[in-house]
Amino acid sequence: MPETEDKEPKEVLKNVERRCLPVDDIELRVVGSDKKPILTGYAAKYNRWSVDLGGFREKIKKGAFDEALEKSTIMCLKNHDPNLVLGRNTSGTLRLKTNSVGLNFDDDVPDTTTGRDTVEEVRRGDISGCSFSFTIAEDDWKYLEDGTVERTIIKVGEMYDVGPVTYPAYPDTTVSARSLDKLKEAIEKRDVATAEETEQTAEETAEVVEEIIEVPKEETEEVPVVPDQISDERMRECWVGYRKAGRIIARLKQADA
């Protein structure tokens, strides 16, 4: 069962990240009667690539929320404002569940000014976005040959709140300092790996060239003799090595630009 004790403000803010789901994916709506309206929708969807989050893009792996839902005290807040409470999982007014699509929630909207205003705004379409706050327990960073970085959220550590937001845009997304450090580390590893790959490719290419070109053993002004017959296999190895080195060098020049 989720813990009922409230988190200390400093602990909540430490390493907390926020994500806003694109409007087309949210499916936020009001169901039920006017006397007992229920706010329902998806706070997150699995395996959907985000837009650029400031140097990387990410997706959430299926099942990433399962453990967090068992232990977290989660609020339904409007615009992440703790003064605009719409529900809470420990009181039973907020219900969250995961399925093959993502993280779904149902919230029994309170008969308060905030609740009534939110219901009307969602019905009118004035509010159509949804967001959630969380921490990361496990993630995986990958860098691609084109220089982009991808992150997969494997396991969410804690969930803090979900709810409707006025501006559901990824530019409003916040990324924790811990995650930005991981991004920096991933980029550094990419650069080191690229440099090592360039050096290794140059060495391999030189070895192939030495094998197919006969270099005189004694110092002489004669031009190295290229055999009349070079096997197709050797020629392919030579060209593959040169092309690979050329791609890596071009990528490094682009990164330095």
Q: Are residues 124 and 213 in the same domain?
A: no
Widest CA span in the chain:
99
Q: Are residues 120 and 240 in the same domain?
A: no
Residue identified by tokens 């991981």 is: 182
The token duo for 251 is 């990528």
Domain-ending residue, one of 111, 145, 175: 175
Q: Are residues 135 and 167 in the same domain?
A: yes
Coil vs helix vs strand at 145: coil
Q: Which residues of the chain have pLDDT under 70?
A: 1-14, 22-27, 33, 168-183, 186-187, 189-257
In a domain, 155, yes or no: yes
pLDDT at 51: 79
Domain-ending residue, one of 114, 149, 175: 175
How many other CB atoms sit within 10 Å of the CB of residue 57? 15
pLDDT at 8: 46
pLDDT at 4: 41
CA dihedral sign, ordered 76, 78, 81, 86: negative
Of 10, 4, 1, 18, the C-alpha closest to 133 is 18
pLDDT at 203: 63
Q: Are residues 128 and 58 in the same domain?
A: yes
Q: Are residues 100 and 222 in the same domain?
A: no
Domain span at residue 26?
9-175
pLDDT at 171: 44
- Chain mean position to CA 12: 21
pLDDT at 34: 73
pLDDT at 116: 93
Number of domains in the chain: 2
Domain-ending residue, one of 175, 198, 224: 175
Single-letter code of the amino acid located at 147: G
In a domain, 81, yes or no: yes
